[in-house]
Amino acid sequence: MKNILQHINKAFDHRIRLGIMSILMVNEYADFNTLKELLGVTDGNLASHAKALEAEEYIMIEKQFIGKKPNTRYMATKEGRKAFKDHIDALEKLIQKS
């Protein structure tokens, strides 16, 4: 049991961070507005949770311009993908045990 709990990742212990990672696992990238719409959160909320994931190096943030409009893209890193996969595996094991 203790072994499994080690893999439960605190970085994903929030609905919005869990959501951001879920989306980036199945999409090459997602931009700010897409994430905002899918998760139903405010700008500030999304930005701060995204920053937290970036600090862990689980996601990459890429700022660019489309025409004159700024556009922020989010992508999962290799480490992020692995950490999230481990997290899901641990969740599944915990559910099976209960």
Partner 1 sequence: MENYLKDIQDIKKMMDKSSQFLSLSGMAGVMAGIYALSGAFAIREIAIHNQGKVNLESYSFKLIVLIAGAVLFLSVLTAFVLTMRKAKRSEESMWNSTSKRLAINFLIPLGTGGIFAVLLMKNHYYGLIAPITLIFYGLACVNASKYTVRDVRYLGITIVILGLFATAYMGYGLQFWALGFGVCHIIYGALMYFKYDRKQ
Q: Beta 30-31 vs 59-66: how paired, if at all? A: unpaired
Q: Which of 9, 30, 32, 49 binds partner 1 (CB under 8 A)?
A: 30
Calculate Rg over the CA atoms of the chain.
15
Angle at the Cα of 81 from the Cα atoms of 43 and 66, rounded to 5 degrees: 45
Q: Based on CB atoms, which residue is closest to partner 1, 51 or 85?
A: 85
Minimum distance, C-beta of residue 27 to partner 1, in the bound complex (Å): 6
Report the 10 Å Cβ neighbour count for 46.
Answer: 21
Q: Which of 2, 10, 26, 68 binds partner 1 (CB under 8 A)?
A: 26
Residues that bind partner 1 (CB under 8 A): 15, 18-19, 22-23, 25-27, 30-31, 34, 37-39, 88, 91-92, 94-95, 98
